[in-house]
Amino acid sequence: MLTVPAFVWRGGAVARSVLVGVSAGVVIGLLAWLDSGLWFPALLAGAIVAVVYGIWLGLRMVKYWPGATALSGEQRVRVAGVTRWGGRIGDPALAQPVVDYADGLRTSAETGRHFRWVLPLILVAAIGTAGWDAIGGSTRDVVASCVYLVLLGFELFWWPGRREQLLVNADRARERAVALVERTRGAAG
């Protein structure tokens, strides 16, 4: 859920699943085509990833922010954007959804931490593969290995900092939304 930009929330649950699934499928399909040079296995890999990832992430999005269904697409985008940037929502009716979305981001991040130990192992295997490709592979194989290494580098070195910044922003937006909810209750009571 952390990797899903705010604009994706505009659509309903099925539209979100399709959008994230197709996006991931296109990327994986292109990487498979770059690596193999064959269009059919690349198309197959992209289609399988699109279906599996779309369903999996779509279900996670619903699980971690079930209240999203009560909001319009524009409201979901606004809540997600404000929360991801750590801003103020301003609208008391959207303050509780900010709290819920921030809690969903935090829970999603905590469940994903259990698998972070796998990434260094994948990096070691990717370095070995890149070395093997550099010695005996084609130019296409070397390029594909370098692309994989760059992507893994982003995942290992850039993403953890970005993830923490998103969570700090979400916590700040959550605190502001809770304060707005309390002010609204105090003014009404």
What pLDDT, in 10s, does the model give residues 2-33? 999 999 999 999 999 999 999 999 999 999 99
How many CB atoms are located within 10 Å of the residue 130 CB? 19
DSSP code of residue 68 = G
Q: Identify whether 100 is part of a domain.
A: yes
Q: Identify whether 52 is part of a domain.
A: yes
What pLDDT band is residue 189 in, cutting at 50, 70 and 90? low
Quote the CA–CA distance of 162 and 5 in Å, as a whole number: 13
| Predicted local confidence at residue 112, as pLDDT | 80
Is the pLDDT reported for residue 115 higher than 90? no
Q: Identify whether 160 is part of a domain.
A: yes
What the block records as the tokens of 115 is 């698998």
What the block records as the tokens of 112 is 């994903």
Domain limits for position 77: 6-188
- CA neighbor of 122 nearest in space, from 94, 96, 156: 156
**Concatenated DSSP letters of 128-160:** HHHHHHHHHS-HHHHHHHHHHHHHHHIIIIIHH
CA dihedral 136, 142, 144, 149 (to 10 degrees): 110
Q: Identify whether 33 is part of a domain.
A: yes
- CA neighbor of 178 nearest in space, from 62, 57, 65, 97: 97
In contact, 55 and 24? CB cutoff 8 Å: no
| Predicted local confidence at residue 117, as pLDDT | 85
* Residue showing tokens 């289609």: 47
Is the pLDDT reported for residue 114 higher than 90? no
Least confident interval from 92-101, 107-116, 177-186: 107-116
Q: Identify whether 1 is part of a domain.
A: no
Q: Identify whether 13 is part of a domain.
A: yes
Mean pLDDT, residues 151-174 taken together: 95
In contact, 33 and 136? CB cutoff 8 Å: no
Q: What is the pLDDT of residues 26-85, one digit of tens each?
A: 999 999 999 889 999 999 999 999 999 999 999 999 999 999 999 999 999 999 999 999
| Predicted local confidence at residue 185, as pLDDT | 87
The count of structural domains within the chain is 1
Is the pLDDT reported for residue 130 higher than 70? yes
Quote the CA–CA distance of 47 and 54 in Å, as a whole number: 10
Quote the CA–CA distance of 147 and 71 in Å, as a whole number: 39
